[in-house]
Amino acid sequence: MTKEELLYQAFQDKGFTVRASKVDGEIEDYIFVVEDREGDMQVYHFYLAWLSLVPMVEVYLFNSFKKRERNKLRKRPQEFLESFDRYMLHNLADITMEEDEWLAQ
């Protein structure tokens, strides 16, 4: 099972539906737009921490985006992800933790 498949399964087990994804397996960078059962959307970014190479996850909550970004996230999630790298450069995640900790929740 690839890491991407493992993450898809983890989201499903946690009750999320993946709406869009952007994957660069070569550098182990995975970004997902997910929706929970209540319709709330979040963006998850999985990556390796720079010096330690510890697998990490950042969570960006729907309400932390501006109105225009929220509309794009809801209506065109794949298009939203294409410019998400620029967003991450200028904004902090709402939640950051090690990937193992997230998987164990």
Q: What is the pLDDT along the chain (105 residues), one digit of tens a residue?
A: 899 999 999 999 999 999 999 999 888 999 999 999 999 999 999 999 988 899 999 999 999 999 999 999 999 999 999 999 888 888 899 999 999 999 998
Cα-only R_g, the chain: 13
Tokens representing 69 are 């970004």
Phi, psi of 12 (to 5 degrees): -60, -45
Q: Indicate the number of domains in the chain.
A: 1
Q: Determine the structural domain holding residue 89 and report its residue range.
A: 3-104
Which of 25, 23, 28, 30 minimizes the C-alpha distance to 59? 30
**Is the separation of the CB atoms in 77 and 19 below 8 Å?**
yes
Tokens representing 5 are 């498949």
How far the first Cα of the chain sits from its last, in Å, is: 21
